[in-house]
Amino acid sequence: MDSIERDPDARYDEVVEIDLGKLEPLIAQPHSPDHVYPVTDVEGLQVDQVVIGSCTNSSFKDLTTVATIVKGKTLRQM
């Protein structure tokens, strides 16, 4: 992947550091995209349908990454 470098003389008003390891995945539940909860809140809930997307209009690369992850996987009936 290509990286984007800042100009050597670039200055910032503020730097925000985020520890991605501390972020918890979220899940949107029906019937509204703002009906969002931490994934752990719905653990054990039966899932009948999944839609993968992004609130920022996922790039083709984002969606192909997910497709690679789920390729060949099947739903296990409980």
- Residue-level pLDDT at 78: 54
User: In the structure, what pLDDT confidence band is assigned to residue 13 with cuts at 50, 70 and 90?
Assistant: very high
Decide: residue 2, CB within 10 A, 0-12 exposed, 13-18 middle, 19+ buried: exposed
pLDDT band at 30 (very low <50, low <70, confident <90, very high): confident
Q: How far apart are CA 4 and CA 33, in angstroms?
A: 31
Average pLDDT over the chain, rounded to an integer: 83
Which is more confident, 17 or 3? 17
